[in-house]
Amino acid sequence: MTVRTNVILMGLRGSGKSTTGRLLARELGHAFVDLDDSTARELDAKDAGTAIREHGIDAFRRAESRALERELDADATVLALGGGTPTAPDAARLIRDAHRRHNTRVLYLRAEPETLLRRTQADATDRPALVGGHPLAEVRELFEERDPLYSELADEIIDADTLDPADVAERLARALDPC
């Protein structure tokens, strides 16, 4: 494939951004970047969960914005955002600017709260709760808060509820292929 489009994947934790992103990057011949990893490096932490616990969510979001700005300058990249990245200081503007300035597609991997909870409970990734309380209530609260922003920023909303990440990646690669 000759696609040189940058792709930004966003969605809540458990939507499949990292899994789908790796598969899509391989299919397109692009680099893959997980913004959580870049943000953790920015804070000299082993992973995003550690960075949040050690530095707090506000410092994490500021570092996330710095990492996002740096990563958006890349070419031919699939960038998986953290679930809260669009809420980080100035992040929504950075995403909009990248969309206007570069050949960048912004895709929202959308899944229902029950699906997200099931997936995150099966995932061994170490992440602290963000709002506290019952896990499903937290996912629903974050979904209600972030879904409008994700939808507004996205070129396309992808059903990540029923599709396997490999199927999502394959469909995205076909949709991005200019031939």
pLDDT of residue 122: 66
Mean pLDDT (the chain) is 87
Q: How confident is the model at residue 34 (pLDDT cuts 50, 70, 90)?
A: very high
CB 111 within 8 A of CB 14: yes
Is CATH 3.20.20.70 what the domain over 6-173 is classified as, yes or no?
Answer: no
- pLDDT of 179 higher than 50: no
pTM given for the model: 0.88
pLDDT of residue 1: 41
The residue behind tokens 């974050």 is 142
Mean pLDDT of 82-108: 90
Per cent of the chain over pLDDT 70 is 88
pLDDT of residue 4: 61
Mean pLDDT of 9-30: 93
The residue behind tokens 């929504």 is 92
pLDDT of residue 169: 87
Domain map of the chain by residue range? 6-173
112-140 pLDDT, tens per residue?
A: 999 988 888 766 555 555 555 667 888 89
The C-alpha atoms of residue 10 and residue 18 are separated, in whole angstroms, by 10
42-54 pLDDT, tens per residue?
A: 999 999 989 999 9
The C-alpha atoms of residue 34 and residue 78 are separated, in whole angstroms, by 9
Helices 165-176 and 17-28 cross at an angle (nearest 10°) of 40
Closest to 109 (Cα-Cα) out of 2, 21, 6, 4: 21
pLDDT of residue 2: 46
Mean pLDDT of 69-82: 92
